[in-house]
Structure 1
Amino acid sequence: MENENTPFKAGLNSGLILGLISVVLTYVIYFVDSSLLAAWYVGIGIFVLFIGLIIYFGIQYRNSIGGYMPFGAAFNFSFITLVVAGIIGVLANILLFTVVDPALPNVLVDAQMETQIAMLDKFGAGDSISSEQLDEMRTNLQNAYTPFGQLKGFGFLLIGYAIFALILGAILKKRDKSLDF
Structure 2
Amino acid sequence: MEQSSKKLATSYGLYLGISFVVILALAYAFDLSLFTKWWFGIGLITFGIVLAAMATSKAKKLSSSLFSFKNAFGTYFLTIVIGTFISLVFNIILFNVIDPQAAETLTELTIETSRKMMESFGAPESQINEALQTMQDENQYSAINQLKGYAFQLIMYAVIGLIVALVIREKDTTNA
Give the aligned partner of residue 168 of structure 1.
164
1:148, distance to aligned residue in structure 2 (A):
1.6
For residues 114-169 of structure 1, give each alpha carbon's deviation from its aligned partner in whole angstroms, at most 9, with x where no partner exists: 121111111111523364542212223xx220112112222222322321221221
Superposed, which structure 2 residues align to 1:27-176 within 5 Å?
Answer: 27-66=25-64, 69-129=67-127, 131-140=129-138, 143-175=139-171
- The whole-number CA distance in structure 2 between the counterparts of 1:98 and 1:108 is 13
1:35, distance to aligned residue in structure 2 (A):
1.2
% same residue: 33
Higher mean Cα deviation, 91-100 or 66-75?
66-75
- The whole-number CA distance in structure 2 between the counterparts of 1:54 and 1:98 is 28
- The whole-number CA distance in structure 2 between the counterparts of 1:120 and 1:131 is 10
List gaps (5 residues or longer) in structure 1.
none
Q: Do 1:118 and 1:126's aligned partners in 2 also have CA atoms closer than 8 Å?
A: no
1:67, distance to aligned residue in structure 2 (A):
8.3
Q: Do 2:69 and 2:169's aligned partners in 1 also have CA atoms closer than 8 Å?
A: yes
TM-score (norm 1): 0.86
- The whole-number CA distance in structure 2 between the counterparts of 1:131 and 1:60 is 50
Higher mean Cα deviation, 93-102 or 66-75?
66-75
1:38, distance to aligned residue in structure 2 (A):
1.8
TM-score (norm 2): 0.88
1:47, distance to aligned residue in structure 2 (A):
1.4
Are 2:28 and 1:26 equivalent residues in the alignment?
no
Size of the aligned set, in residue pairs, is: 175
Cα root mean square deviation, aligned = 2.1
1:77, distance to aligned residue in structure 2 (A):
0.8
